[in-house]
Amino acid sequence: MGTGAVAARPRPRLPVIGRLTRGLAMPVGSVLFAFVLGAIIVALTGASPLAAYQGLLCGGIGVGCTEGENSALQISNSIVYMIPLVMTGVAVALPFRAGLFNIGAEGQLLAGTMAATAIGVHFASWPAVVLLPAVLIGGAIAGAFWAGIAGVLKATTGAHEVVTTIMLNYTAQWLLRFLIIGGPLQPPGVFSASAPVGPNARLPTFFPNDSSVIVFGLPATVYRVHSGLIIALVAAAVFAVLLWRTSLGYEIRALGQSQKAARYAGVSVRRTIIVTMLIAGAFAGLAGAVQIAGVDHQMTDKYFSDTTGFDAIAVALLGLGSAVGIVLASLLFGALHSGGAVMQSDAGISSNLVLVLQALILFSIAANFLGAILRQIPGIGRTRPSAPAPTAPAAALVTEAAAPPEEASS
């Protein structure tokens, strides 16, 4: 095929649709790849992949249920799981754009839950109009503080944020254990849980808090889906505006492309690193506060093994670091989480299969297996532009993240 023929050929599709399909090809392909490999793993252990995925589908979106599960309830559960994923997803994606790898969303989320619980319990008598914002903002500030430690260390000493945030995760986990096991947030006579936050510190649910009201065939109180969804969607929108419509967003993106170039463009590298981490931590802390105010209302031992902040890494990567992508990816992982429980009870397959799938998705995105496979196929490989890198600053991430910013030495 000569070049003339290519140039003369009319564009087959609208450019927007073309861009959309190309943008979706990699994430959708990665998910499919993970599901195929996951099915093989399930089959190898002698279980039925069909039964497993039917359970996931039922628990995720209420389709194909065999045990008479209520579809509306499954969707409600999926959204409940999705809400913190959106905010922590943003907390990972924003630093990504600056070439920083925030593995600490989990610790920042826990910092948010601790602050939110403390405020919600101690000032329970305040009116909701004051207390609820205090709980949410308190959580965000705590998260920002936790991430800020990593940001300041990175900016001043060049300490790698991957290592510092891992350490901060564990520190937060142990601090949380201390607080509710023998610590100041443990009420007398209760083990491994805090007191519940006051009624004024709680986010309203979408359905009335009245068990005599029947919604979709079940009492309204079983639906836990809450107004934190709105906060999460607003957070995603704020992220998009911040990144693309503000000068800070420009600085963050410049930093992610090249620290050196950003510095020549007049961007203060140290300041941007710290501010980016602070904002990211605030999103993750907010996620923790929303979990307390929206669903859990108290800290329990389930937070010891919480993985939201790690799932957020997969969310940010699968969502290609864009706001819409993060929301869609959160929806997927929320549905997988919710589906895992149904799969376990219906098909008898551990809900931990969801973690395996998540890891496979991560491998697939990071390695761009599909791109590599497609490149092997002549014809497709030539006409198809190579898929874009999963995250724009990936190169900057590995090269420059390892070294302290040069400003530090001056």
Partner 1 sequence: MTAINDILHLLVTANLWQSVLALSTLLLLPALGGVVSERSGVVNIAMEGMMLVGAFFAVYADLHFHSPWIATLVAMLAGGLMALIHAVVSIRFRADQIVSGIAINIFAAGLTVFLIGRLYGLQDVGHISQNESLPNIVVPGLNSIPFVGQVLFNQNIVVYIALVLLVSTHVVLFHTRLGLRIRSVGEHPQAADTAGINVFMLRYGAVVASGLVSGLAGAYLAIGISNTFVPNMTDGRGYIALAAMIFGKWTPFGAFIACLIFGLGEAIYYNNSFIHTSQYLLSALPYILTLVVIAGLVGRSIPPAADGLPYVPGSE
Q: CA-CA distances (angstroms) from residue 78 to 57, 124, 200, 327, 332? A: 11, 29, 25, 13, 9
Q: Is 47 in the site for partner 1 (CB under 8 A)?
A: yes
Nearest 10 degrees: CA dihedral of 341, 347, 348, 351?
-30
Question: Can you tell me the distance from the alpha carbon of 111 to that of 9, in angstroms, rounded to the nearest whole number?
Answer: 57
**Which of 352, 377, 380, 386 contacts partner 1 by CB under 8 A?**
352
200 vs 358, beta carbon nearer partner 1: 358
Task: Note whether 208 binds partner 1 by CB under 8 A.
Answer: no
Is residue 158 within the footprint of partner 1 (CB under 8 A)?
yes
Using the minimum distance from each CB to partner 1, give the nearer residue, 51 or 137: 51
Among 24, 50, 377, 402, binds partner 1 (CB under 8 A): 402
Beta strands in 189-287 (DSSP E): 214-215, 218-219
Of 23-31, 57-65, 231-239, 391-399, which segment contacts partner 1 by CB under 8 A? 391-399
Looking at residues 96 to 125 of the shown chain, list those that interact with partner 1 (rule: CB under 8 A).
101, 103
207 to each of 169, 233, 268, 313, 355, how far by Cα in Å? 35, 19, 48, 31, 31
Count of residues making up the chain = 410
Task: Give the binding-site size for partner 1 (rule: CB under 8 A).
Answer: 61
CB of 303 vs partner 1, minimal distance in Å: 13
Cβ nearer to partner 1, comparing 81 with 207? 81
By CB under 8 A, tell whether 362 contacts partner 1.
yes
Query: Which DSSP state fits 6?
Result: H
Restricting to residues 161-190, name those near partner 1 by CB under 8 A.
162-164, 166-168, 170-171, 174-175, 177-178, 181-183
Contact 207, 213 (CB under 8 A): yes
Of the candidates 312, 295, 277, the one whose C-alpha atom is nearest the C-alpha of residue 106 is: 312
374 forms part of the interface with partner 1 (CB under 8 A) = no
- Where b means 16+ CB within 10 Å and e means fewer, 224-261 reads bbbbbbebbeebbeebeebbeeeebbebbbbbbbbbee
Under the binding rule (CB under 8 A), the answer on residue 359 touching partner 1 is yes
Contacting positions for partner 1 (CB under 8 A): 41, 45-47, 101, 103, 149, 153, 157-160, 162-164, 166-168, 170-171, 174-175, 177-178, 181-183, 305, 310, 313-314, 317, 344, 348-350, 352-360, 362-363, 365-369, 372, 390-391, 394, 397-399, 402, 404
